[in-house]
Amino acid sequence: MTGLAAHVTSLWGRWWIAPFLPALYVLALVPAGMVRPEHVVIAGAVMALGLWPQTKGLVAALYPGIFVAILTDAMRFVVPLFVTAGRVHGCDLRALDLALFAVATDTTPGDWLQRHISPFWDVVFAIPYAAFLYVVPLYALYLFFRDRERMSFYLWAFAVAHLIGYALWLIVPAAPPWYIRANGCLIDLAAAPSAAGLLRVDQLLGITYFHQFYGRAANVFGAMPSMHVVFPLIGLLTAWRSIGWRTRPVHILYASAMMVASVYLDHHWIVDGLAGVVVAVAAVAITARLLKRPWP
């Protein structure tokens, strides 16, 4: 056994491939010319930290999140194999929102909000949408030093929620509200992704952040369940037994703001958000059972 192989095996045992998996994924993208700078950065960081004894534990603890990052990126290859135009739900979801939550004749809450947009609320509701990508790793790192058992619970529930959510994206492909407003009920699989209401924030601030971020979305027709709603709920539910009412309102405010923002920014119908609530609860319950943690 070579020195490197012995070193890796001593650190990871039978999971020796773990520090190399993101790099192998990047190598698989090279022939198709689909490698982006963030792919290289993540792969390099995981390999470097995973091979250093002092930080191997951090990489191992964060691995459910690393798995989700790879899975999320790989969805662009999986979606075309399962999603066809005839299977995509569009105007029927608007009709369901209308039947359940109509605020006026032929007016869903999302319709009403689109008629009452303002720069102030655009910025307010852009905050949770801008923050979610950074909240997850930063919160996980905080828990790594503060409460590793809760970190494990949080990240594994996060991973389970993605497996459920992505499976539903393939089983029940759904068009977001902005697509219906722009294209009507006709489903075009070649439609480009959009940041929807967040484009107004780009224009207001003179930036292209949201346009570029959502322009790389792997799946236009993945509105149900809303994974944006899932993210803060996973944090709230996995922390519920461990925190008091000094910090619990922060979790509740974040989850509530994300739910409202998802509708205001025209990314989701209310039923998409409710589906996200069900996915979050199911993922936490499944993870609690797997990890033998008391919940709720």
Is there a cis peptide before residue 173, judged by omega within 30 degrees of 0? no
**Which pLDDT score is estimated for 4?**
84
- Nearest residue to 157 via CA among 21, 16, 295, 19: 295
Of the three residues 54, 82, 110, the one that is the final residue of a domain is: 82
Regarding whether 249 and 209 lie in a shared domain, the answer is yes
**Which pLDDT score is estimated for 3?**
82
DSSP H helices in the chain? 3-12, 21-29, 37-50, 53-82, 91-101, 109-114, 119-146, 148-171, 177-183, 198-205, 209-215, 227-239, 248-264, 270-291
Q: What is the count of structural domains for the chain?
A: 2
- Nearest residue to 69 via CA among 19, 138, 37, 22: 22
**Which pLDDT score is estimated for 55?**
96
Range of the domain at 62: 1-82
Regarding whether 35 and 6 lie in a shared domain, the answer is yes
Tokens of 256: 């509530």
3-class secondary-structure state, position 10: helix
Regarding whether 113 and 21 lie in a shared domain, the answer is no
Residue type (1 letter), 62: L
Contact 266, 177 (CB under 8 A): yes
Q: Which residue has the tokens 């977001």?
A: 176
Residue type (1 letter), 39: H
Q: Which residues of the chain have pLDDT under 70?
A: 1
**Has residue 3 been placed in a domain?**
yes
Q: Which residues pair with 107 in a beta bridge?
A: 104
Quote the CA–CA distance of 81 and 169 in Å, as a whole number: 12
Of the three residues 23, 49, 82, the one that is the final residue of a domain is: 82
Q: Which residue has the tokens 């609530």?
A: 277
Residue 61 CA: distances (Å) to CA of 100, 137, 182, 265:
42, 11, 43, 34
Regarding whether 251 and 144 lie in a shared domain, the answer is yes
Of the three residues 32, 66, 82, the one that is the final residue of a domain is: 82
Regarding whether 77 and 94 lie in a shared domain, the answer is no
**Has residue 296 been placed in a domain?**
no
**Which pLDDT score is estimated for 1?**
53
Regarding whether 212 and 116 lie in a shared domain, the answer is yes
Regarding whether 145 and 181 lie in a shared domain, the answer is yes
Tokens of 99: 């039947």
